[in-house]
Amino acid sequence: MSEFLLEAGRQTLQLELQEASRLPDRLGDDFIRAANTIIQCTGKVIVSGMGKSGHIGKKIAATLASTGTPAFFVHPAEALHGDLGMIESRDVLLFISYSGSAKELDLIIPRLQEKAVTLLAMTGKSRSPLALAASAVLDISVEREACPMHLAPTSSTVNTLMMGDALAMAVMQTRGFNEEDFARSHPAGALGARLLNKVHHLMRRDAAIPQVKLTTSIMDAMMELSRTGLGLVAVCDNDAQVKGVFTDGDLRRWLVGGGALTAEVGGAMTRGGITLQANSRAIDAKDILMKRKITAAPVVDDQGKLTGAINLQDFYQAGIL
């Protein structure tokens, strides 16, 4: 039984891969026409299809939407009961039907023609009513389904999915859609956290900022270190310009050298030090800390004034790993 299951699974995959391997050679003028139609669309791309084609169509619409093309899925039956009202002349309809003769098309195609909506077809039958009515036809035909009864859509649904991905990726790259654009469509994901967050989104503010003046005593600077637990204190002049940082290491070195706790912190601090710009990308700021092998830094504005503080834990908590 186990060997039978493995063999059935392998045969299915081999058949689907064999059918899919023919797709690249089918891309030609119709593919270019379909892609250009989507690129030049000033409205939305509506994807539609019945049954398994509809399930794949939902994924294609989602891929288009997440890669810079406004798109959504409309079920053909719902379209005939009111949802056609969502489709305008500036939109494009991508209809998926392997047979190209879904009965819903008899009513949908005339309505699209009345509205002057551009129709794109993804079908396995090049002479079907759908193909003949479309401005461009994407060929997803197969010689055989992987289903041993040649009934369940298998190879054909794989072809549909792959053709949809090919179309979406071609359009995306032509538009110059990049990873930051992608992140804006996925703000809650890991990529959104990495690319959209700025330092000022994550930094500690107001009373949570460890800071002292140049004339503050070592004792008081030590108390500030303890209060905030960030591992450093920003040392500023009277104009809030960061002149250095006072760290746990600076304190230890000062005490080992016999320094007095009543002395001014300006004499014990690390002058200059690393500061981060509030408007810089969080991922870039984290990389600076990692490369310099430090765990925290003051944050300054465009004028160099102290405006916050941040450490590696703040990045990790925001999902920037």
**316 Rama sector, left if φ>0, alpha if ψ -120 to 50, beta otherwise:** alpha
Nearest to 310 by CA among 217, 228, 219: 228
Q: Note whether 300 and 276 are within 8 A (CB).
A: yes
DSSP secondary structure string, 121-169?
EEES-TTSHHHHH-SEEEE---S--SSTTS-S-SHHHHHHHHHHHHHHH
Tell me: is residue 75 an annotated ligand-binding position.
Answer: yes
Measured between alpha carbons, how far is 92 from 87 in angstroms, rounded to an integer?
8
Q: Note whether 145 and 113 are within 8 A (CB).
A: no
Measured between alpha carbons, how far is 182 from 31 in angstroms, rounded to an integer?
24
The residues with which 204 forms a beta bridge, in sequence order, are 309
Q: Note whether 237 and 243 are within 8 A (CB).
A: yes
Q: Which residues are annotated as a binding site for Zn(2+)?
A: 75
Q: Which residues are annotated as a binding site?
A: 75
